[in-house]
Amino acid sequence: MDYLNDMALFVEVVKTRSFRRAAEVLGIPNSTLSRRIGLLEEGIGLRLLNRTTRKIELTEAGQLYFERSRRIVEEARIAYEELGDMVAQPSGVLRVSMSVDFATTYIAPLLPDFASLYPGITFDLDLTSRNVDLVGEPFDLAIRMAAPENPNLVSRAITRLSAQFYAAPSYIEAHGMPKHPADLESHQCLTMPSMTTWTVHSGQKSASIAVGGRFRMNSVGMIRRLGILGQGIVFLPERVLAEDLAAGRLQRVLPNWKGASQPIHAVTETKLVPAKTQRFIEFLKDRLRDI
């Protein structure tokens, strides 16, 4: 059954795109890993990888073999975990991609408890807004505001967020307090390039406002900071601004209006996820239930 072991080695090499990094993850010498992959290619009778001094690339045969073998390897590992103590106490590296703003506001306060519950898990957190490739990159999980466009990926809602309006007292003093969402069209609004329209609700009433201003940015942290400095009205969840509200640096605007509840998604490559990933998703759903 050595070919199954070599299949797992091959999958790790492709995921990391490096013999050296794969060898480090697997805990075996680079030379041993290279030899095993060579023997695998000899046994199959086809070259699976094109090797250069800088990178490795899959051949056509290698791409087909990887697509089949990665699922076999993953399901075999999951089956092993489900029969062992790792279900109760999973271990290994948990690789998660999420935005820096969501991570620092919502996830960071929860990590100490999760780490204490599962001391065998270590964390590799990639804090970025880019849509990582869960198939081609070595991530266990991505946390995203939007559901994945790829229909082959699996999405689970872990919580929901709703935004409200806030501004610094200095901004209100200089520009006045808006009375209705339509008034925002004449105000400076701090927003993201992808959110030029704010849709809000108050009971049975709703409104969509085309907003603009001197500043647009793809960082919640920067929006918050400029809001504190009196540069415009922000439209963010209350949790993001809790400390500023308590300190009086920001105040609620249009308190009867708020944005629709939007789901936050935990996205994985497949429904069959390792125990470490499943425990983390379950933990987040439980702890983020009432935010």
Domain with residue 142: its CATH number is: 3.40.190.10
Tokens of residue 219, six digits: 């960082």
For 255, the 3-state DSSP assignment is coil
Which of the four pLDDT bands, split at 50, 70 and 90, describes residue 84? low
Q: Tell me the torsion sign for CA atoms 122, 126, 127, 129.
A: negative
| Domain finish residue from 53, 82, 111 | 82
Report the distance separating Cα 96 and Cα 123, nearest Å: 8
pLDDT of residue 150: 83
* Span between the terminal Cα atoms of the chain, in Å: 49
- Mean pLDDT, range 86-90, rounded to an integer: 75
C-alpha–C-alpha distance, residues 203 and 219, integer Å: 30
pTM tops 0.75: no
Q: Measured between alpha carbons, how far is 236 from 173 in angstroms, rounded to an integer? A: 21
130, 147: one domain: yes
In single-letter form, the type of residue at position 189 comes to C
pLDDT at residue 153 tops 80: yes
For residue range 233-264, list pLDDT tens digits in order.
999 999 999 999 999 999 999 999 999 888 99
Percent of the chain predicted with pLDDT > 70: 97
> Of 52, 82, 112, which residue is a domain's last?
82
Q: Are 121 and 283 in contact (CB under 8 A)?
A: no
What is the mean pLDDT of the segment spanning 52-74?
Answer: 86
Encoding tokens for residue 204?
A: 């049975």
Centroid of chain to Cα 117 = 21
157 located within any domain: no
Going by C-alpha positions, the residue among 266, 260, 238, 263 that lies closest to residue 251 is 238
Q: How far apart are CA 291 and CA 285, in angstroms?
A: 11
For 164-193, how does the pLDDT look when each residue is reduced to its tens digit (9 = 90+)? 999 999 999 999 999 999 999 999 999 998
Tell me which of 121-135, 155-169, 222-236 is least confident. 121-135
Q: Which is higher by pLDDT, 290 or 220?
A: 220
* DSSP summary character for residue 108: G
Q: Render the burial of 139-172: b for 16+ CB within 10 Å, e for the rest.
A: bbbbbbeeebeeeebbbbebbebebbbbbbeebe
Task: Based on the fold, state whether residues 133 and 271 are members of the same structural domain.
Answer: yes
- How many other CB atoms sit within 10 Å of the CB of residue 247? 9
Cα(37)–Cα(278) distance, rounded to whole angstroms?
31
Tracing tokens 């073998």 back to the chain, one arrives at: 69
* Residue 236: predicted pLDDT: 95
Residues 196, 254: one domain? Answer: yes
Type of residue numbered 249: R
Task: Residue 22: give the domain boundaries.
Answer: 2-82
Tracing tokens 């030899």 back to the chain, one arrives at 35
What's the CATH code of the domain at 251? 3.40.190.290
pLDDT the model gives residue 52: 75
The phi, psi pair for 208, rounded to 5°, reads -120, 125
Same domain for 268 and 126:
yes
Distance CA 128, CA 60 (A): 31
Of 21, 50, 82, the residue that ends a domain is 82
Number of structural domains found in the chain: 3
Res. 1: pLDDT tops 60: no
Task: Tell me the range of 11-25, 167-181, 276-290 where mean pLDDT is highest.
Answer: 167-181
- What pLDDT is stored for residue 283 in this prediction? 96
Question: Same domain, yes or no, for 116 and 237?
Answer: no
Inside any domain, residue 158: no
Domain co-membership, 176 together with 254: yes
Quick check: helix, strand or coil at residue 273?
coil
